[in-house]
Amino acid sequence: MTTNQAYTLNKLQMYDECPQKYKLCYIDKVHVIEPIVKTKTGNNIHNIINYYLQGSDVTKLTEALNKPEKLLWYNFKNSDIAKYKCYASEFAFNVKIDEYWLTGRIDALFDAGDHYVIADWKTGEEFSPENVRFQTSFYLLCMYEILKSKKLIEKPEQLALYYMVLSSNSIVKILFNEDMFYQYKSLILSVINKINENKTFFCNKTDKCKFCKYYRACPYY
């Protein structure tokens, strides 16, 4: 693999979860037919929030929402984070970390005055910060480098990541600092190096394996 390759959150997160799963998906390109997952609610809310933050009139769109969706919208609209100045919505990025390019997209970025806030909307019923550990590392590391290059911030403490759990009307706040910056950078680069150096792509073999969509194709079972 060359350093010109762009590493996405999904790729790095999948390898960190299970190298064999990464191999089956991205190297062997095994195609698995999956049942259709109902994501209509999540897509609806993400789209409406995006339009709203971009200054569009979303009145008719919100009126068409069903009752559970209207609650999610209400919780966003009346949250503290909605009062911040939106710097960007559905922000796609490419950033170079050492010799590697990382690419991704965040739901929104807000200017909170003395710091910037990365916002991520969660529309599901269950949420755990541990389940998004890699996402947290990826977003904070990448956006810090981008905002620093734009001279919008000078130090990690001027950046935070808020997970807005719309179903429970709660916010999980991850405040960034210098120690976390080095920790997250080390984590991301170590996974990239493992991908580049790996020849075996072992399976982690956990209790979650039987729920993996590549379970039947995995040579470790």
Q: 102-142: per-residue pLDDT in tens?
A: 999 999 999 999 999 999 999 987 788 888 999 999 999 99
Q: What does the alpha-carbon distance between residue 123 and residue 49 come to, in Å, rounded to a whole number? A: 12
Crossing angle for the helix pair 9-17 and 133-149, to the nearest 10 degrees? 150
Per-position b or e across 19-53, b if 16+ CB within 10 A of its CB: bbbbbbbeeeeeeeeeeeeeeebbebbbebbbbbb
List Cα–Cα distances, 107 to 43, 73, 217, in angstroms: 12, 15, 33
Res 84: pLDDT: 94
In this predicted structure, the answer to whether residue 1 has a pLDDT above a threshold of 50 is no
Distance CA(143)–CA(6), nearest Å, equals: 16
Phi, psi angle pair for 116, to nearest 5°: -110, 150
| pLDDT tens per residue, range 163-213 | 999 999 999 999 999 999 999 999 999 999 999 998 889 998 998 899 899
Report all structural domains of the chain as residue ranges with CATH numbers, in order of start: 6-34+86-217 (3.90.320.10)
In the block, tokens 């910060």 appear at: 129
The pLDDT assigned to 107 comes to 97
- pLDDT tens digits, residue range 17-76? 999 999 999 999 998 876 554 578 889 999 999 999 999 999 999 999 999 999 999 999
Please tell me the total number of residues recorded for the chain in this structure. 221
What number of other Cβ atoms are within 10 A of residue 198's Cβ?
14
Q: How far apart are CA 94 and CA 7, in angstroms?
A: 10
Q: What is the pLDDT of residue 190?
A: 96
CA distance 97 to 94: 10
Q: What is the DSSP letter of 64?
A: T
Q: What is the pLDDT of residues 71-99, one digit of tens each?
A: 999 999 999 999 999 999 999 999 999 99
Give the pLDDT of residue 35: 56
